[in-house]
Amino acid sequence: APPPPLAMPHSNMIEILPSLPLETRSLPLDLRCYNGFWVPERILRAIPDIHAGFETRPSDIFLASSPKSGTTWLKALAFTTLNRATYSPFDAGHPLRRCNPHDCAKFIEVHFDGVKDELEAIPSPRVLSTHLPYSMLPERVTGEDSGCRIVYICRNPKDVLVSGWLHFKKVSPKSVMGVQSFTLQEAFELFCQGRSLNGPQWQHVLQYWEESLRRPNKVLFLKYEEILCEPVVNLKKLAKFMGCAFEEEEEKGGVVDAIVELCSLPTLKDMEVNKSGHNYLTKNDGFFRKGVIGDWRNHLTPDMAEKLDKIVEEALQGSGLSF
């Protein structure tokens, strides 16, 4: 079944915002609950403008994710694959060697006013991105006749929680200024209640999962862990879905391997731009940490893991999706 329709029309968002449930303990930003999801207030404010003013193109590729699920990696892979005729992955001057992946595929909802013209100036086919839940995407993106394709990346919620906790406590102004201590226990409790950035994380995943089953030609569902285990297989799948499958000659010439290598964590992490630079959102280095499966084991107790697993399993029951 398609995702439930929005409970409220977006147009009156500004008026209803103050009455929406508020969560101030979260990092990096205060969140409001809108239509079942905990979203930063300033993103909610932008939603009417995005719905009204964002022009899509049938060739657009949207990269979607819940935060800390491998967004940066997917941006690097998709951008490099789609633009390989213009920028060879073998090229020493490849854009990824000068820019962070977030500058290669910008979020439509962050600073929408600021990036709108920039997004319009990108030549087709564009790679864009979003952390919005599926049910909050503009009709122009999700509509049956929109043509736009969506690639979703999901990751085990326990690793998402730990990755987000470590990341936000490092970069969030609230935590840097000491306004909030944000212990793992606090982050865990909020996460389990769905009160995390664009959470509940598993509902975010579930909406895209269901849509990928309903419209497999338009929504590709990928798992972080599967890409890590089989990068070549998954990159080929991604390329085919985006309408730019690799030619046999390219494969023989090592293009697929070169993209995997260029976009790998060690390669990106080691680039000067990602060690010292900024992207249009924040500092680049914060997006690259360990990039492994199951790092949650070093942080969560077995009891915590069990509690979160249970919540997620119950929510996903009958969906055909598991972590």
- Residues with catalytic roles: 131
Instruction: For residue 210, state whether it binds ligand A3P (rule: CB under 6 A).
Output: no
Nearer to ligand A3P among residue 46 and residue 268 (C-beta):
268
User: Min. distance of Cβ 145 from ligand A3P in angstroms?
Assistant: 30
Which residues, numbered 134-163, are part of the site for ligand A3P (CB under 6 A)?
Answer: 159, 163
Instruction: For residue 268, state whether it binds ligand A3P (rule: CB under 6 A).
Output: yes
Nearer to ligand A3P among residue 140 and residue 158 (C-beta):
158
Instruction: For residue 109, state whether it binds ligand A3P (rule: CB under 6 A).
Output: no
Nearer to ligand A3P among residue 156 and residue 203 (C-beta):
156
Instruction: For residue 309, state whether it binds ligand A3P (rule: CB under 6 A).
Output: no
For ligand A3P, the binding residue among 26, 69, 81, 146 (CB under 6 A) is 69
Instruction: For residue 28, state whether it binds ligand A3P (rule: CB under 6 A).
Output: no
Site size toward ligand A3P (CB under 6 A) is 21
For ligand A3P, the binding residue among 289, 309, 311, 315 (CB under 6 A) is 289
For ligand A3P, the binding residue among 264, 277, 316, 323 (CB under 6 A) is 264
Q: Note whether 89 and 80 are within 8 A (CB).
A: yes
Stretch that binds ligand A3P, among 43-51, 245-253, 286-294, 310-318 (CB under 6 A): 286-294
Rounded Cα distance, 289 and 120, in Å: 32
Stretch that binds ligand A3P, among 144-152, 172-180, 205-213, 258-266 (CB under 6 A): 258-266
Nearer to ligand A3P among residue 140 and residue 159 (C-beta):
159
Nearer to ligand A3P among residue 10 and residue 296 (C-beta):
296
- Binding residues for ligand A3P, per CB under 6 A? 65, 67-73, 76, 159, 163, 263-265, 268, 287-291, 295
